[in-house]
Structure 1
Amino acid sequence: MPRVSVTLPCYNCEPTLARTLDSLLSQTLEDFEILAVDDGSTDATRTILDEYARRDERLRPMSIEHGGVIKAANTAIAKARAPYIARMDADDEALPERLAAQAALLDSRPDIGLVGCRIRFGGCRESCAGYAHYVDWTNTLLDHEAISLNRFVEFPVPNPSIMYRRECVEHHGSYREGDFPEDYDLLLRWLESGVRAAKVDEELLVWNDPPDRISRNHERYAVEAFYRVKSGYLARWLERHNPRHPEVHILGSGRTTRKRADMLLEHGITFAAYYDVDPNKIGHVVHGVPVRNRDDVPAAGEGFLLSYVGSRGAREEITAFLGARGLVMGRDWLPAA
């Protein structure tokens, strides 16, 4: 039995597939298999897979009728034989130590169910500044506490970088179909169920950012879809951790903030107040909820705060502001944008 099973969904990836396969077949850990699922490609994807499989028996190609990346990924997971299962996308590159380093972390930490790594951004930092900033942010979240407390900001462990124990998918399920990002849903579901996560503190994956990347073009990965799926998980987290449930205080009062925070209302959460620094907003009442000066946020133990301010640099500034007032992330407040 192989030590690691690499699941590789493939769809019309002829231009990048060989580079991805070369990176996997050059790993320092040799005891692995690649479950490459051709999702009904119309280009030379299957031909490339067959050619590589003839040269290296660790590659196990298979084909299915086109059903999308979730079906392809779950097909590969179902065929995996190893105790550790890794995800790889067919337009990225695994650095030579990736599988060895992640498997070693799982070996040494029986309390950890899922591991990631630091990412090397493979796109243009000028034209793709948003993605680059996101990668930089994920690279700061290395231990379980940081990953867990920041899970409602964005996806803290990029999907192509994960490796996990087989029992995680057996106990908590694999990717689900829906109008939401399936990878984010999987991580939120596993964390909610008690799975602990960590990262290898090394760059082990080159995450490329081609213009046709599915996360750029499918409505399932739109910003609002991320807020929609995380609102339910966040509401359940608040029910367990907010002493004043269901009441929360919202940092930010702009239209975008309210639109995204309002998704919590569908889950029974109520708002005590909005807080802002804009004097033109302070003093207003929005749908019965007052807008107050940010300096008037409740003290520690007097109310739970959610920050929905997502502008560049705002998260760091708010963390410093609340910390100076003695508020602790996870106990008194959480970032949600």
Structure 2
Amino acid sequence: MTVSFVLPCFNAAQYLQQTLDSLIAQSHTDWECIAIDDGSSDQTLAILQAAAQQDARFKIISRPNRGLIASLNEGIAAAQGEWIARIDADDICLPDRLVKQLDYCAQHQVDICGSWIGFIGERSGEWHTPVSDAEVRLALLFNTPIAHPSILARASLLKANPYPDDAPHAEDYALWCHIAATTSARFANVPDVLLHYRTHAGQVTQAKKAALLITAQRVREQYARSALPVALQPLAAEFAKLAEPSRILTHAEWAWMVDFFTQLIALRPESRGALGEMWLDTLQRSRGVNVFDFPRAIKLALQMPPPKAERKKMLKQSLRLAMSDYVWRKVKP
């Protein structure tokens, strides 16, 4: 079964060879790589051409700069495989990535499949994304629950649903919400680290952050109006505003979200795995919380347990509640 890696590249020479080597090391060998050189001014094209000379599975498209969304859609259009695998030019696939994702998709009848990831570079740790289709669809109400460079998706699905060109810097979030809202495609994440995701300074500029926030807010509200249980749909606009991951919440807004989470888990009990990380993140960005909020947090933790990877954060937030937010901010390092 042929898999087509889509690899957009722009001035990516620093880490690109490591990425290419990780593709060559895949235990599933029936793959091609559509690498798009998006008008690079460094040695990116030379590295890609050298790889193509040594391995015919690398296919290079080089042209003036058109941006990430255009590169993604161009690579998908050129792909010959039954499946599309994403990879960025500074990340590293583990050798069994394709084997495990293909097996998981076959076993669970999945159409879009990500995986857990491990961070390298300036950040350490792991991101344990929601696993099941129901959990992924619910987590999309908050933000993207799929690590973009980890996805494996049916080529026919992505060819029929290209990345939207009106969603700069949030193109993956917009696409997953669109597919979730308009198709019966099944989502999943393999509960295993299959990709090392590199973090480094300058990945997202302040200008890009501003554009991402505006786009994500629009996408979130639009998705919430159809994806929330009917009883909660009148709250979609307020929810979408307070669910923004970069927004700092007041104590009253935190209380509003606690009530929202309580209603949501009652209506969608199958999604408790996805909501554990979401309510904990909401608590972390809330201000003015105190010991009287501790029972609320305990109730949420029992109803929606945070993933094991978030245990340290849970302990830290519990201590913060016990001390009160005011004292915590005075004494924390």
Structure 2 equivalent of residue 312 of structure 1: 284
Confirm or deny that 1:144 pairs with 2:144: no
* 1:51 CA drift (Å): 0.5
Structure 2 equivalent of residue 125 of structure 1: 123
- Assess if the C-alpha contact under 8 Å between 2:114 and 2:146 holds in 1: yes
CA RMSD of aligned residues (A): 3.8
* Equivalent residue for 1:242, pick from 196, 209, 230: 230
How far, CA to CA, are the matches of 1:247 and 1:17 in structure 2? 45
Structure 1 equivalent of residue 180 of structure 2: 191
Structure 2 equivalent of residue 285 of structure 1: none
**Measured at CA, do residues 92 and 251 of structure 1 come closer, stay the same or move farther in structure 2, by a change above 3 Å?**
closer
- Assess if the C-alpha contact under 8 Å between 2:224 and 2:233 holds in 1: no
| Count of residue correspondences | 282
How far, CA to CA, are the matches of 1:298 and 1:219 in structure 2? 27
- Assess if the C-alpha contact under 8 Å between 1:179 and 1:220 holds in 2: no
**Measured at CA, do residues 52 and 318 of structure 1 come closer, stay the same or move farther in structure 2, by a change above 3 Å?**
farther
How far, CA to CA, are the matches of 2:105 and 2:49 in structure 1? 31
- Assess if the C-alpha contact under 8 Å between 2:77 and 2:159 holds in 1: no
* 1:38 CA drift (Å): 0.4
Confirm or deny that 1:231 pairs with 2:221: yes
* 1:151 CA drift (Å): 1.2
Q: Which amino acid aligns with 1:116?
A: G
How far, CA to CA, are the matches of 2:123 and 2:156 in structure 1? 38
**Measured at CA, do residues 223 and 123 of structure 1 come closer, stay the same or move farther in structure 2, by a change above 3 Å?**
farther
How far, CA to CA, are the matches of 2:19 and 2:258 in structure 1? 51
Structure 1 equivalent of residue 114 of structure 2: 116
User: Whose helix fraction is larger, Structure 1's or Structure 2's?
Assistant: 2
How far, CA to CA, are the matches of 1:294 and 1:233 in structure 2? 18
* 1:223 CA drift (Å): 3.3
1:194-241 deviation digits (Å, cap 9, x = unpaired)? 221112221110000122324776246633432222111111223xx3
* Equivalent residue for 2:147, pick from 152, 158, 166: 158
Structure 2 equivalent of residue 50 of structure 1: 49
Question: Any unmatched runs of 5+ in structure 2?
Answer: 269-274, 287-293, 305-333
**Measured at CA, do residues 295 and 40 of structure 1 come closer, stay the same or move farther in structure 2, by a change above 3 Å?**
closer
Secondary structure of 1:310's match?
Answer: helix
How far, CA to CA, are the matches of 2:197 and 2:177 in structure 1? 21
Q: Which amino acid aligns with 1:114?
A: I
Structure 1 equivalent of residue 308 of structure 2: none
Question: Any unmatched runs of 5+ in structure 1?
Answer: 127-131, 262-274, 283-290, 328-337
How far, CA to CA, are the matches of 2:187 and 2:80 in structure 1? 22
* 1:295 CA drift (Å): 9.2
TM-score normalised by L of structure 1: 0.71
- Assess if the C-alpha contact under 8 Å between 2:113 and 2:153 holds in 1: yes
User: Whose strand fraction is larger, Structure 1's or Structure 2's?
Assistant: 1
Structure 2 equivalent of residue 59 of structure 1: 58
